[in-house]
Amino acid sequence: MIRSQTFRSGVARALALAGLLGVGLAPGALAQESPDGEALSIAFPTDGAVLQSTDIPVRVQVGGFNLACDEAGAPDRSGAGHLHVMLDGMSMAQLTNFYCTQEFWISGQGVQAGQHTLTLDLATNTHADLMDTAKSVTFLYQPTKPAAALPQSGSAKGATVEISAPKNGATVGPQFKLEVKPTDFTASCDLEGKQNVAGFGHYHVFVDMDPGAMMMGGGAPGAMDMMSMAGMISMPCGSSIPVDLTAWPSGQHMLSVELEQNDHTPLMEPGQGPKFATITVNLQNPFQP
Ligand SMILES: [Cu+2]
């Protein structure tokens, strides 16, 4: 009923977006046709809504699809994945994050008062966009209490990241905290998908992907190769990062944390590669012995 209506009314718009999405979305993510049945609709904001809150509330309805962020980065599984959310664009540079709840907030930081477009789609575990599920709404952002502006740019020179726990080679259960120590770098989730600001960004956490090797195929920043999003399990901003490897089999796994700019491209200095830290863990996963 609601689901089939939503699905049908979404078809025209999804087709209209399809061409753009195919070109623009998430470098590294292959656009895929979605298997029939799953549907996404944006319940809030409604098209033309006037938003007076500082941050931007979003409510979606998802049918026939499992939102499973604990599987993000793991191999694709039909009918499971997460939401990609983009503000004022349809490429990875505008990705505010990926989400697994039907309600969430987008930070108003750095968002100017005025008209904005929100675009969402369903994505597979390896971050391939299911482009025929894409939906957009345009809203008027008029916050009563404006959010903070973008921070003053700092210096990205000498930025580094280290993993302080677990220790390299440690035996871990499927759920643990990855403790990271950045130097000369401020991680902020509020800035994800916004303009780049020197010295600011966030982390990408990868399982069984070597960020150094990933760049060798693709070359320049912003031209990450096709593999770069697969294996990415989160885009966090805290230095104590929850990790859930329930979807991975027991055994040795490589865990990497890479410094990213707000547009999700690796933070790099001239003549240098991406900045990341890697450990190997011995996973003991009772769900997949
Ligand atoms: Cu990112």
pLDDT along the chain (289 residues), means of 10: 34 34 44 72 97 98 96 95 96 94 98 98 94 96 96 90 98 98 97 96 95 57 52 97 97 97 93 94 97
Q: What is the pLDDT of residue 228?
A: 60
Ligand 1 centroid, distance to 192 Cα (angstroms) = 7
Judged on CB neighbours under 10 Å (0-12, 13-18, 19+), 277 is buried
Q: What is the pTM of this model?
A: 0.85
Ligand 1 centroid, distance to 255 Cα (angstroms) = 16
**CATH level 3 topology of 2-141:** Immunoglobulin-like (2.60.40)
Q: What is the pLDDT of residue 156?
A: 75
Q: What is the pLDDT of residue 182?
A: 97
- Number of other residues whose CB lies within 10 A of the CB of residue 188: 17
Ligand 1 centroid, distance to 246 Cα (angstroms) = 22
Q: What is the pLDDT of residue 4?
A: 36
Q: Give the separation between CA 64 and CA 160, rounded to whole angstroms.
A: 42
Q: What is the pLDDT of residue 227?
A: 41
Q: Give the separation between CA 119 and CA 24, rounded to whole angstroms.
A: 12
Give the side-chain half-sphere CA count within 13 A for 61: 13
Domain with CATH 2.60.40.10 in the chain: 2-141, 160-283
Ligand 1 centroid, distance to 37 Cα (angstroms) = 29
Strand pairing of 66-67 and 80-87? parallel
Tokens at 136, concatenated: 């957009």
Ligand 1 centroid, distance to 271 Cα (angstroms) = 22
Q: What is the pLDDT of residue 9?
A: 34
Region 160-283: CATH code: 2.60.40.10
